Amino acid sequence: MAELPPIEAPTVSAVYAALQHNRRDEDRGYLGMSQFGTECDRALWYGWRKVHDPEPLDGRRIRLFETGHLEEGRLIGDLRSAGMVVADADPRTGRQFGVWSIGGHLRGHLDGQIDGVPDAPKTMHVLECKTHNDRSFKALLKDGVAKSKPGHVSQMQFYMHFTGLTRALYVAVNKNDDQLYAERVRYDATAALQLVARAERIIRADQPPAKLHDDPSAKAAFACGWCPARTVCHDGAWARVNCRTCLHATPVVDESDAGR
């Protein structure tokens, strides 16, 4: 007889249910700079055009994302306690540092800017904080951020490009044992411009880009398995009905108002 899975405690179920009830599903009105970890332009285009519903999150995953946000503040406090100067809010707005382009249709939000980094104390850096599970953290230690998390490097390249800073400090924590990792990343103008050009192609496209894989069950198409656009892309589901899925929709690019 197969072993039955453990029954979730009513207290845990109540907490998860409350988290789901109180959370509003994220339906971004822009293409996020943090989304470029995927090679699939089609997936980015579907999300940008709001073709599919926002990815639903259960209570456990909501807590997981909240842990990441809480850890950012803790890491910033640790950096400050070590004598580094961290600005986690734009003094002009009092809110998180934000960058945008292509009429505001492409946006990103920095964890902060940091000065006094021991490796280069006179250089202002973009600050990017991330949490990792044990397996991901070990890959980071072994291979560095560029190989183990290329999407995180893309994110930092965007931020450096639009802030004019030439260095980023990547700080990561292992959620299993609190081990820390830090790496400085150099601005790469060619890579940044390629990312901006890619974003503009996606934003201005009036048709979905080509599929990376025709068969989502193929071994090489493993990412299709958890892609929120799979039902539309591969399974024949209808797109959501909204202004962005209208055949006549065209993005308005006005660099003077950030797309508002």
Which residue from 198, 101, 202 is spatially nearest to 159, judged by alpha carbons? 101
Distances, alpha carbon 3 to alpha carbons 6, 10, 12, in Å: 9, 21, 22
Which residue from 102, 94, 100, 97 is spatially nearest to 114, judged by alpha carbons? 97
Rounded Cα gap, residues 130 and 152, in angstroms: 9
pLDDT at 247: 87
Query: What is the average pLDDT across 194-218?
Result: 94
Beta strand 31-32 with 106-109 is parallel
pLDDT one-digit tens code per residue, 186-203:
999 999 999 999 999 999
Q: Count the Cβ atoms, other than its own, within 10 Å of residue 126.
A: 28
Biggest distance spanned by C-alpha atoms of the chain:
67
Nearest 5°: the CA angle 187, 190, 191 is 70
* pLDDT bucket at 217, cuts 50 / 70 / 90: confident
pLDDT at 53: 87
Query: What is the average pLDDT across 170-191?
Result: 98
pLDDT at 220: 86
Structural domains in the chain plus CATH codes: 26-41+56-207 (3.90.320.10)
% of the chain with per-residue pLDDT over 70: 95
Does residue 8 register a pLDDT over 90? no
Distant-in-sequence, close-in-space partners of 257: CB < 8 Å, separation ≥ 6: 103, 104
pLDDT at 230: 92
Ranges assigned E (strand) in the chain: 31-32, 85-87, 98-101, 106-109, 112-115, 125-132, 167-174, 180-186
Does residue 167 register a pLDDT over 80? yes
Rounded Cα gap, residues 216 and 219, in angstroms: 8
- Mean of pLDDT over the chain: 92
In the chain, the amino acid numbered 258 is A
Does residue 147 register a pLDDT over 50? yes
